[in-house]
Amino acid sequence: MRGISAIVIAKDAAPTIGACVNSLSFADETIVVDTGSSDRTAELARESGARVVGEQWLGFGVQRQRSLAHARNEWVLFLDADERLTDGLRAAIAALPQPPAADGYYLRRRNHFLGRPMRNARWANDWQLRLFRKDAAAIAPVAVHEGVTVRGRTDRLDAGVIEHDTVTSLAAHIDKLNRYTALEAGQKAGEGRAFSLSKMLFDPPAEFWKLYLALGAWRDGRRGLALAGLSALYKLCVQGKLLERARG
C-alpha cells in the first residue's frame, strides 16, 4: 500500500520519539507535530527522518483534527510518541491492496506497564482505529480520549501490534492520571453531567473487579493488581473532581 502520511503529535518525547519515527520508515511521509517541547524532541524527530511542524497545544481532539491538514497523502496513520509499530504490523500495512478494501483499519495495541507488556484482554488487545482514508475521517473536539470515526467500511489488521510504553513509572502515571481526570471532569461538566454519589460509590469497585477478574488482570500478577487498582482510582478521581467543581 502506498500513499500514507504518518502523523505523530508529541511534546517532550525525546526518550521515545526516535523509535516511534523509525518504525514509520515505510510511510511516504512522517509528520511530527511538536506542541512546545522543551527537550530535543523536534531535533531527534528530524534526525530520524520526520518533517516537524510546530504548533501551540489546542487540546487532544482539536489537535488531532487539525493535524490532518498537514498530510499530503490520501491515507493517514496516527501514532503516539510513546508507541512503535512491530515488523509484523509494518508488513501487514505494506501488503494492503491498492486501493484498500476498507476506509479505515483497526490496529491492535499492546500496552506495557513498568517495562513489560500486559497479557490480559484490555491491555493486550486494545484495538485502535489508526489507519484511515483522510477524507472519510472525523475527530470530535473532545478534551480527552479522542478517537477517529470513519464514514464507510472498517476492518482489522490481525498481524503485528502497536507496542505502547504507556506506564514507565508509577510517579509518571499518577501525574498523567491527575491531568486526564481533570480534563474528563471538565468535559463531563461542560456536557451538563454532574457529580453522582452512586457513581463514586459503585463505579470504582465495579471497574476493579471487571478488570481484575472478568478481563483477567490477575494473570499479570502484581502488575495486573496495580493496574486494576489505578483504573478504579481513575473513576474515583473523575467523580471527586466533579464534586469539587460543584462546590466551587
Asked if residue 223 and residue 124 are part of one domain, the reply reads no
Domain count of the fold of the chain: 2
The C-alpha cell at 141 is 473536539
Asked if residue 110 and residue 192 are part of one domain, the reply reads no
Identify each DSSP E strand in 11-50 by its residue range: 29-34
Residue 73: CATH number of its domain: 3.90.550.10
State yes or no: pLDDT of 174 exceeds 90: yes
Asked if residue 197 and residue 160 are part of one domain, the reply reads no
Nearest to 111 by CA among 90, 80, 156: 80
Asked if residue 159 and residue 36 are part of one domain, the reply reads yes
Share of the chain above pLDDT 70, in %: 100
| b/e burial code for range 123-137 (CB count within 10 A of at least 16 → b) | bbebebbbbbbeebb
Asked if residue 95 and residue 9 are part of one domain, the reply reads yes
Asked if residue 84 and residue 33 are part of one domain, the reply reads yes
pLDDT, tens digit, 9 for 90 and up, residues 184-217: 999 999 999 999 999 999 999 999 999 999 999 9
What pTM does this model have?
0.92
Asked if residue 118 and residue 227 are part of one domain, the reply reads no
| Average pLDDT of the chain, as a whole number | 95
pLDDT, tens digit, 9 for 90 and up, residues 99-113: 999 999 999 999 999
Asked if residue 16 and residue 131 are part of one domain, the reply reads yes
pLDDT, tens digit, 9 for 90 and up, residues 23-55: 999 999 999 999 999 999 999 999 999 999 999
Asked if residue 230 and residue 115 are part of one domain, the reply reads no
Domain encompassing residue 43: 4-167
Asked if residue 38 and residue 156 are part of one domain, the reply reads yes
